[in-house]
Structure 1
Amino acid sequence: MSFDPGPALEQLFDEYSQRARAIRHDLGLPHNADFAEQAQERQNDEVLQALLAEAEAGLRQVGLARQRLAAGRYGLCLRCGEPIEPARLQAWPAAECCLACAERGEV
């Protein structure tokens, strides 16, 4: 493996954590008393909820990648067991599968 995944995973974890924290903050803000404004704010809340779900999914993926790293299984495809391409890991350090399995939609 030509790069150290630890710092890359840590950076991803920090980015997702900051994003989730900011979204939770925004979702906790009070709504406007004006009905028309409330309707718009509730639509915005739906978008924020979707963004929060994405951030939380990213946190889970990074957490699982960190577990694989600690267990010595980082960089191995969860589907076929073959090594994941180094370029793929550099592009997405939390990758769970090799490119061939990802293209087949197997993981």
Structure 2
Amino acid sequence: MVVKSIAMDTEQIETDLRTRLVELEARLEKIKQDATQGHSSDSAEQAQERENDEVLDQLGNETRLSIRRIQSALLRIAEGSYGVCESCGEEIQPGRLAIMPETTLCVKCAD
């Protein structure tokens, strides 16, 4: 009975991760579009646009990292190793996975 509920939770987590992945991929595409827009001929506006480009670059990097973490979690689900701490090999608590479904570490190893 417990195995069945864990499997059902994993199914829901997988669904949630896939939904989040689609959202992040759409966000990354929007960031790419925004980053490729031309710059103004006004030097003062160019300075502001360059600052905006730096922010977009950072957002893009963070989004790519989140995408990689989610893809890794989905791979662990497919392989059957999801929910196992990659440091100590112990089970990651379901509450932690509910909050951070892409985590690879239990609370003890994350500290």
Scaled by the length of structure 1, the TM-score of the pair is 0.91
- The residue aligned with 1:61 is 69
1:75 corresponds to which of 83, 92, 95? 83
Give the Cα separation in 1 of the matches to 2:61 and 2:97: 23
The letter for the 2-side match of 1:47 is: V
Which of 41, 47, 55 aligns to 1:39? It is 47
* Residue segments in structure 2 that go unaligned for 5+ positions in a row: 1-5
Which structure is higher in helix share? 2
1:9-64: per-residue Cα shift (whole Å, max 9, x none)? Answer: 10221121121111111101111111110011001100110010000000000111
Unaligned runs of 5+ in 1: none
Question: Normalising by structure 2, what TM-score?
Answer: 0.88
Runs of 4+ that moved beyond 6 A: none
- Percent identical pairs in the alignment equals 39
1:85 is matched with which residue: 93, 101, 105?
93
RMSD: 1.1
Q: Secondary structure at the match of 1:64?
A: helix
Alpha-carbon distance in 1 for matches of 2:85, 2:20: 20
How many residues in Structure 1 have an aligned counterpart in Structure 2?
103
Instruction: Give the letter for the 2:18 counterpart.
Output: E
Q: What is the rounded CA distance, in whole Å, between the counterparts of 1:62 and 1:21 in structure 2?
A: 17
Using the TM superposition, name which of 15-24 and 2-11 deviates more: 2-11
